[in-house]
Amino acid sequence: MAIHEEDIRQALKVVKFPGLTRDIVSFGFVKAIAVDGGKISVELQISSADPDAAAQIEREARAALESLP
């Protein structure tokens, strides 16, 4: 089954910004998505003074994408 951009956006909606209830998609942090065969690339632009927030978002985003079929 081919993965589409909308599948990726839906998967990333489970990733919440640390300490808040909104997800990274609704915040507009997802700037670009590319699918090339089985390879997925996602460009995120995160605005936070907390450097740990970006690392946490990256970990959770990777986990969400790895759960895709």
Which pLDDT belongs to residue 62? 96
Which pLDDT belongs to residue 64? 97
Q: How many Cβ atoms sit within 10 Å of the Cβ of residue 38?
A: 7
Q: Give 28-32's long-range contacts (Cβ < 8 A, gap of 24+).
A: 29/57
- Residue in this structure with the two tokens 């951009």, named with its chain if needed: 5
**Predicted confidence (pLDDT) per residue in 17-48, tens digit:** 999 999 999 999 999 999 998 899 999 999 88
Which pLDDT belongs to residue 63? 98
Q: Where are the beta strands (DSSP E) in 1-69?
A: 30-36, 39-44
